[in-house]
Amino acid sequence: MATGGTSSSSEEGFLSRMALNDNKAGMEGLNRDKINKIIMESSKGSRFYENELKKEQQVNQRIERMMLQKAHITEQQLSKAQAQVEKMTSDLERGRDLSRVIVHVDMDAFYAAVETRDCPDLMDKPMAVGSMSMLSTSNYHARKFGVRAAMPGFIAKKLCPNLVIVPTNFDKYRAVSAEVREVFADYDPHFLPMSLDEAYLDISDHLEQRRGWPEYVCMYVCIAPNMMLAKVCSDKNKPNGQYKLSSNRQAVIDFIQDLPVRKVSGIGKVTEKMLGALGITSCSHLGQEMALLALLFSETSWHHFLHISMGLGSTHIERDGERKSMSTERTFGEMSALKEQFSLCRELCQDLAQDLQKEALKGKTVTLKLKNVNFEVKTRAWTLPCAVATTEELFAVAKDLLKTEIDNVSPQPLRLRLMGNLTLPSPAGLNVVSHWQENTLISPFIYVVYNNNI
């Protein structure tokens, strides 16, 4: 009986992470039970499944600690926190800015759209871009089967046996993205690109009348008073639609009230589950429980929650003149031979060096990202006293980082399925002491990954 209970709990935990998200455009009205059953049956026993269970257990432990902390909160602490929240709310309300028109542009199913442009036969077929290991995106025909981005291809094929999986080609995507960005610059020379297929612009309503977008790329445009709201609107009227949120306080409050917290940028699966444990599922709940959140979460987190509950976000698009980071990454089948690993590491350094040369950049911090066959991700970084940019300079650091990981698992082989290199350009003259940095999560890095699946 205990075993059955544990098994049931494990399955529920896995599905909480991998179940169909029918909030995503193109996935409305699908048979959740049928799709989730297929996901479970095709995943069970795989390394991917075991890794997701491990992540779920870690989240559950965090929730247990949070609930224990909640049980010890006193009325006096709540009253003090409530006063703090009310003061901050009043200050934020006085500073509310509804004068700007912020546009969030999302090229819908971008990689799939580019591949369909080059192969029109894919137009009416369920297709995805990626590999059997992981998908980057899927078209709307595939979404009808529950196939989505960040899903292993082997699971997607179980959901949709006729699915066509096209390998990624980032050279093509960058070329199309560059073409689109020329259009963005016509309206806002200081537009903020977030990735190859997403950007923020500070412009006016006439963007809706724009003609001459690159062929076969569906543009979704959302207009709102700030960046947070513009991003949240992204799933409305897809595909190839527009949505405008009126620039008045009541319209903003009405829009945000019933919005699921998961819809907001910055609230992922883990935070959603932690909030759910507190009975918080919508943005209005955030506002109602803000005093409690101020006691349970970090200052940065609850400040973010408060901004969300009030429909507040940045109204000034600032594009830094300096590129934050550059990276290159490859996903592949299992690789455990040392010669192959070092060879790939050098190739990645060469690709990265070429990208740095094109942008006339150098970097002081070189990072190696690895994912093993159990889907565990590790990053190791080394910060140099002087900036580097050549293949040899990058490889000299990256190969030592790789060797350290190989030595750590010795005498067992290092069994990899992904490798990536990242550099963080630093201002000239910055004096930084060399140090090691190790993480099991990649959240500290905000970057566009040039992901070349083999």
Catalytic residue IDs = 198
- 95, 226 in Cβ contact below 8 A? no
| 282 DSSP 8-state letter | B
Residue ranges in 72-168 assigned as alpha helix (H): 75-94, 110-118, 140-143, 153-159
For the chain, helix (H) and strand (E) counts, in that order, are 16, 13
- 154, 435 in Cβ contact below 8 A? no
Residue whose pair of structure tokens reads 């809706």 in the numeric block: 208
- Burial label for 215, CB within 10 Å (0-12, 13-18, 19+), is exposed
Structure tokens at 247: 């620039």
- Amino acid identity of residue 320, one-letter, is D
∠ CA 188-191-194 to the nearest 5 degrees?
155
Q: Are strands 219-224 and 198-202 parallel, antiparallel or unpaired?
A: unpaired
Q: Are strands 164-166 and 127-130 parallel, antiparallel or unpaired?
A: parallel
Residue whose pair of structure tokens reads 């976000």 in the numeric block: 313
SS3 category, 366: strand
Whole-number CA gyration radius for the chain: 23
- 128, 142 in Cβ contact below 8 A? yes
Residue among 263, 311, 264 at smallest CA distance from 287:
311
What is the spatial distance between Cα 104 and Cα 199, in angstroms, rounded to a whole number? 6
What is the spatial distance between Cα 302 and Cα 265, in angstroms, rounded to a whole number? 14
What is the spatial distance between Cα 175 and Cα 408, in angstroms, rounded to a whole number? 40
SS3 category, 367: strand
- 105, 201 in Cβ contact below 8 A? yes
